[in-house]
A and B are shown apart, each in its own frame.
Chain A
Amino acid sequence: MAATVPEQITRLQVTFKIARFIPETDEEPHYEEYTVEALPTDRVLTVLQKIKDEVDGTLTFRRSCAHGICGSDAMRINGRNRLACKTLIKDLNIKKPVVVEAIKGLPLEKDLVVDMEPFFQAYRDVMPFLISEGHDPTKERLQTIEDRAVFDDTTKCILCACCTTSCPVFWSDGQYFGPQAIVGAHRFIFDSRDAGTDVRLDILNSKEGVWRCRTTFNCTDACPRGIEVTKAIQEVKRALMFRRD
């Protein structure tokens, strides 16, 4: 089949309503509207960059790879946590201004940039690295395909924080580990090569651990990598309930 060439390229006028916050002058974030020309196939990130380049150079946001893999441009787009680089203009309702805000629940630094440190700290707290026992083997640590499949889903996490900052429990209790840290722990808890399962389960059994989760599925809906976050959390709960003491 021959590739179909679009007859004409539709150019659209899109309006973005962006929550701006300049820490030096603002007490609270306020909204500002920007209208620029865009293609239906443009991504929200492209439009933000265009606004920054052509309209207001002070607009601040994080981006790096622009291909959905570094996890730096999570933001609230029309009320949903998404990666700006994975959200196409044609999938949004552009009859109304597209509302872009920083993700919620982490300290706001400027415009769309938040302090990710509490989020990363929760991840470090579950010890996201291989813990081994006994002598190190002289060759690879082998694993069967079946053993690998058990935690395949949670290896896909890119630490974007879409999940944790959509979690109502995290909003009201910043001490909660949050879905991402549980995903990060799940990746090692269910890894047959890892010997730190008990330690990690103990950490997640604490007051701010998995039992705070209300199974609202916000995190699963938000994950740009399609990880079944809530399912992973339930699997950790089950492992805790049925583990041998």
Chain B
Amino acid sequence: MSAPALNAPKTARSGGRTNYEMWSWIFMRVSGIVLVFLVLGHLLIMNVLDGGVQRINFAFVAGRWSSPFWQVWDLLQLWLAMIHGANGLRTIINDYSERDQTRFWLKAALMVATVFTIALGTLVIFTFDPNIS
């Protein structure tokens, strides 16, 4: 009996070291931690502190978005949550869709929905007009 012949080993898929999967993995951990603070802070401010959800109206939102601080907060929250969620769904689609066709179309739909939501949200945060009637 002889030992089985060794095939040439799998080579790393990417020629250079692009490390895409690694960065996506690190992004998930980091954005996850940042989101915990952003989202909990957001919920606290919007729903609990000083009057809570009762005081939210057009003027309140307009007032918040006139400050660059809240603009940045909301922008960060939007981008991180969307990319974090989309990347998670991408992995789930990769795991569970069996046919190449299904996988492609699911990912395409995910991509469109994500880009659309991020673009729309960003547009609103930056072009919000408090004097709209």
Instruction: From A127, A169, A202, A237, give the contact of B25 (CB < 8 A).
Output: A237
Instruction: Tell yes or no: A173 within 8 A of B by CB.
Output: yes
A124→B95 CA distance, assembly (Å): 24
Nearest chain A CB to B18's CB is how many angstroms away? 9
User: How would you classify the secondary structure of chain A's contact residues: helix, strand, loop or mixed?
Assistant: helix
Is B21's CB under 8 angstroms from A209's CB?
yes
**Is A241 an interface residue, CB under 8 A from the partner?**
yes
14 contacts between A and B (CB under 8 A): A120-B4, A124-B9, A125-B10, A126-B9, A172-B96, A202-B12, A203-B9, A203-B10, A205-B21, A206-B13, A209-B21, A211-B22, A211-B25, A237-B25
The majority secondary structure among interface residues of chain B is loop
Chain B: residues with Cβ within 8 Å of the partner, total of 19
Given A205-B22, A209-B21, A241-B26, A172-B95 contact (CB < 8 Å): yes
Measured between beta carbons, the chain B residues less than 8 angstroms from A127 are 9
Chain A, residue nearest B13 (CB):
A206
Tell yes or no: A64 within 8 A of B by CB: no
A172 to B7, CA, bound (A): 25
In chain A, positions 117-131 with a C-beta closer than 8 Å to chain B are: 120-121, 124-127
Which size bracket describes the interface of A in this complex?
A: 20 to 34
Chain A residues with CB below 8 A from B14, complex form? 206
Interface assignment of A99: CB less than 8 Å from any CB of chain B: no
Q: Who on chain B is nearest to A126 by CB?
A: B9
Task: Assess whether B13 is in contact with A211, with CB atoms less than 8 Å apart.
Answer: no
Complex CA gap A203/B17 in Å reads: 11
B94 part of interface (Cβ distance < 8 Å)? yes
Interface mask (B20-36 → A, CB under 8 Å = 1, otherwise 0): 01101110000000000
Q: How far is the CB of A13 from chain B (nearest CB, A)?
A: 42
Q: Given A207-B21, A211-B22, A240-B22, A173 and B95 touching (CB < 8 A)?
A: yes
- Chain A residues with CB under 8 Å of B94's CB are 173
B13 to chain A, nearest CB (A): 5
Q: Is A140 an interface residue (CB 8 A)?
A: no
A202 proximity list for chain B (CB < 8 A): 11-12, 17
Q: Is the CB of B17 within 8 A of A245?
A: yes
Is B10 a contact partner of A206 (Cβ separation < 8 A)? Answer: yes
Q: In the complex, what residues of A have CB within 8 A of residue B7's CB? A: 121, 124-125
Min C-beta distance of A242 to chain B, whole Å: 11
Q: Mark A41-73, 1 if CB is under 8 A from B, else 0.
A: 000000000000000000000000000000000
Given A121-B7, A127-B9, A199-B9; 16 other pairs, CB 8 A cutoff = A124-B4, A124-B6, A124-B7, A125-B10, A172-B96, A202-B11, A203-B10, A205-B17, A206-B13, A206-B14, A206-B21, A207-B21, A209-B21, A211-B21, A211-B25, A240-B22
